[in-house]
């Protein structure tokens, strides 16, 4: 099998890249190790930055998002029983975010790829990327019980942290930067109306909590818990009681209860692999970087990566210059590190570190008060939350 771009992984990054390349008239093949049902059902991010929304619309993949997604012009921060609204649109010249689940993004992009795009092979497990430092890289993969080879001009690894593409980068050339947090997020899906019409980020003495939503009748809620917590150890009643404690305000606002349909724990880590390019292999999304979910940056960073690659490849076709492809890694990493900084800062602002000293807790309180009282500080948060330029 032969193509211009071999894309490993059919998450939102790989699917969007295939769509962008198709619109540009560049052929690509997408290999996905899982079946279609799994890809369309795995629960991940649900907040799309302004730039991601704009890219999906421009790619012809925004119709259902605009119809069913929930645009948010602000977010609410809560601490000490008080509410502090961050006016995202007012502080950023009209930028906002869209609540639209990754599962729905994938469904939209899969439908478009199967109807209009190049080959999308499910249950095609990549085994290795070979000859990445040559002009003819190749991907060995297993599909329908047989081992096959995809010959490409370029390979883009969108296969996540545990994927195989990153292994093609020689260890002697790689640097890894990492922070592991001593807490995680216990997340639940509940058939209950959202706690508020915008996302609520709560900093509490008992720990962080987040109230999000998937629709007007389905809530997505999170609690900070110690690392290694077993979700099954929390009963539904205990979960609701703890959520009510952490979201409570002076006016008595608490989330509405409802049946919990899903429960899981997400570990918290910051992780970056440099470089993001080796020869004609380009890493994107979780294959190259992971952020704690506090800032809702994971999916959006992946979108920035594939937009950067697609632009670089179109530039090469139009000018004959490899300059943008050669600079792919430093270009992406500038945005990645800004998102890592933002996510780490927001995590520190809102979470209760188990070993925090009284001095550190006072500093945290001072940072919160600064955001609540200073327009410039609130604007910096709003600009980071709505997204850094691609």
Alpha helices for the chain (secondary structure H): 12-23, 36-41, 50-58, 63-68, 88-92, 102-116, 236-247, 298-319, 323-326, 328-350, 358-373, 375-386
Task: Determine the Cα–Cα distance for residues 10 and 277; give it in Å rounded to an integer.
Answer: 19
Residues 126 and 57 in one domain: yes
Cβ atoms of residues 384 and 295 within 8 Å = yes
Residues 52 and 124 in one domain: yes
Q: Helix (H, G, I), strand (E, B), or coil: what is residue 184?
A: strand
Of 22, 72, 273, 351, which residue is the catalytic one?
72
| Helix 375-386 / helix 328-350 crossing angle, nearest 10 deg | 130
Residues 64 and 212 in one domain: no
Q: Report the length, in residues, of the chain.
A: 390
Residues 236 and 104 in one domain: no
Q: Give domain status of residue 363, yes or no.
A: yes
328 is catalytic: no
Q: Give domain status of residue 172, yes or no.
A: yes
Residues 200 and 300 in one domain: no
Alpha helices for 24-81 (secondary structure H): 36-41, 50-58, 63-68
Cβ atoms of residues 347 and 258 within 8 Å = no
Residue 380, C-beta contacts closer than 8 angstroms, at least 6 positions apart? none
- Give the CATH number, domain containing residue 34: 3.50.50.60
Residue 109, C-beta contacts closer than 8 angstroms, at least 6 positions apart? 12, 15, 16, 18, 19, 61
Task: Determine the Cα–Cα distance for residues 68 and 99; give it in Å rounded to an integer.
Answer: 9
Residues 34 and 53 in one domain: yes
Backbone angles phi, psi at 281, to 5 degrees: -100, 130
Q: Helix (H, G, I), strand (E, B), or coil: what is residue 110?
A: helix
Full residue range of the structural domain in which residue 54 is found: 5-71+99-177+269-346
Q: Give domain status of residue 90, yes or no.
A: no
Domains identified in the chain, total number: 2
Residues 231 and 250 in one domain: yes
Written as six digits, the tokens of 340 are 């890592």
Backbone angles phi, psi at 149, to 5 degrees: -130, 130
Residues 241 and 377 in one domain: yes
Digit-by-digit pLDDT tens for the chain (390 residues) are: 999 999 999 999 999 999 999 999 999 999 999 999 999 988 777 899 999 999 999 999 999 999 999 999 999 999 998 999 999 999 999 999 999 999 999 999 999 999 999 999 999 999 999 999 999 999 999 999 999 999 999 999 999 999 999 999 999 999 999 999 999 999 999 999 998 999 999 999 999 999 999 888 999 999 999 999 999 999 999 999 999 999 999 888 889 999 999 999 999 999 999 999 999 999 999 999 999 999 899 999 999 999 999 999 999 999 999 999 999 999 999 999 999 999 999 999 999 999 999 999 999 999 999 999 999 999 999 999 999 988
pLDDT at 321: 97
User: In degrees to the nearest 10, what's the CA dihedral of 78, 379, 179, 356?
Assistant: -40
Residues 39 and 137 in one domain: yes
Closest CA to 105 of 155, 46, 172: 46
Residues 56 and 158 in one domain: yes
Q: Give domain status of residue 91, yes or no.
A: no
Q: Give domain status of residue 82, yes or no.
A: no
Cβ atoms of residues 372 and 84 within 8 Å = yes
Q: Give domain status of residue 93, yes or no.
A: no
Task: Determine the Cα–Cα distance for residues 49 and 99; give it in Å rounded to an integer.
Answer: 9
Of 201, 222, 278, 328, which residue is the catalytic one?
201
pLDDT at 6: 98
Residue 323 burial (CB count, 10 A):
10
Query: What are the strands of the beta sheet with 138-143, ordered from one edge?
Result: 124-130, 138-143, 146-151
Q: Give domain status of residue 85, yes or no.
A: no
Of 100, 154, 181, 385, which residue is the catalytic one?
385
Residues 126 and 63 in one domain: yes
Residue 112, C-beta contacts closer than 8 angstroms, at least 6 positions apart? 19, 60, 61
pLDDT at 215: 86
182 is catalytic: no
- Give the CATH number, domain containing residue 377: 3.30.9.10
Residue in this structure with the two tokens 């500038």, named with its chain if needed: 334
Task: Determine the Cα–Cα distance for residues 282 and 288; give it in Å rounded to an integer.
Answer: 9
pLDDT at 214: 86
Q: Give domain status of residue 196, yes or no.
A: yes
Residues 315 and 380 in one domain: no
R_g (Cα) of the chain, nearest Å: 21
Task: Determine the Cα–Cα distance for residues 374 and 94; give it in Å rounded to an integer.
Answer: 19
**Given the DSSP bridges, would you call strands 281-283 and 218-226 parallel, antiparallel or unpaired?**
unpaired
* pTM score: 0.95
201 is catalytic: yes
Task: Determine the Cα–Cα distance for residues 279 and 323; give it in Å rounded to an integer.
Answer: 13
């Amino acid at each position: 099998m032969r193509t211009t771009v071999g894309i490993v992984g059919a998450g939102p990054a790989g699917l969007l890249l295939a769509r962008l390349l198709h619109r540009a008239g560049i052929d690509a093949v997408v290999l996905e190790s899982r079946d279609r049902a799994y890809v369309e059902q795995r629960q991940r991010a649900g907040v799309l930055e302004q730039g991601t929304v704009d890219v999906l619309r421009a790619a012809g993949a925004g119709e259902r998002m605009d119809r069913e997604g929930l645009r948010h012009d602000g977010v609410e921060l809560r601490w000490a029983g008080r509410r502090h609204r961050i006016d995202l649109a007012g502080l950023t010249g009209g930028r906002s975010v869209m609540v639209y689940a990754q599962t729905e993004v994938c469904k939209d992009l899969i439908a478009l790829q199967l109807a209009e795009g190049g080959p999308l092979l499910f249950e095609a497990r990549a085994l290795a990327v070979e000859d990445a430092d040559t002009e003819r890289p190749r991907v060995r993969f297993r599909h329908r019980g047989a081992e096959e080879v995809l010959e490409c001009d370029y390979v883009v690894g969108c296969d996540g942290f545990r994927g195989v593409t990153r292994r093609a980068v020689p260890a002697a050339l790689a640097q890894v930067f990492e922070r592991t947090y001593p807490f995680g997020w216990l997340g639940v899906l509940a058939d209950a109306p959202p706690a508020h019409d915008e996302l609520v980020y709560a900093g509490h003495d008992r720990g962080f909590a987040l109230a999000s939503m998937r629709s007007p009748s389905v809530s997505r809620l999170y609690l900070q818990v110690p690392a290694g917590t077993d979700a099954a150890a929390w009963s539904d009643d205990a979960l609701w009681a703890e959520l009510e404690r952490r979201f409570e305000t002076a006016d008595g606002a608490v989330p509405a209860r409802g049946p919990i349909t899903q429960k899981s724990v997400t570990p918290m880590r910051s992780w970056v692999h440099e470089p993001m390019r080796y020869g004609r292999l380009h890493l994107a999304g979780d294959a190259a970087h992971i952020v704690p979910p506090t800032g809702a940056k994971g999916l959006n960073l992946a979108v920035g990566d594939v937009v950067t690659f697609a632009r670089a490849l179109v530039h090469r076709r139009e000018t004959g210059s490899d300059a943008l492809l050669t600079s792919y890694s430093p270009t992406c990493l500038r945005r990645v590190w800004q998102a890592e900084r933002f996510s780490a800062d927001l995590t520190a602002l809102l979470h209760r570190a188990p070993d925090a000293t009284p001095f550190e807790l006072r500093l945290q309180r001072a940072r919160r008060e600064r955001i609540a009282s200073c327009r410039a500080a609130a604007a910096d948060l709003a600009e980071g939350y709505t997204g850094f330029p691609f």
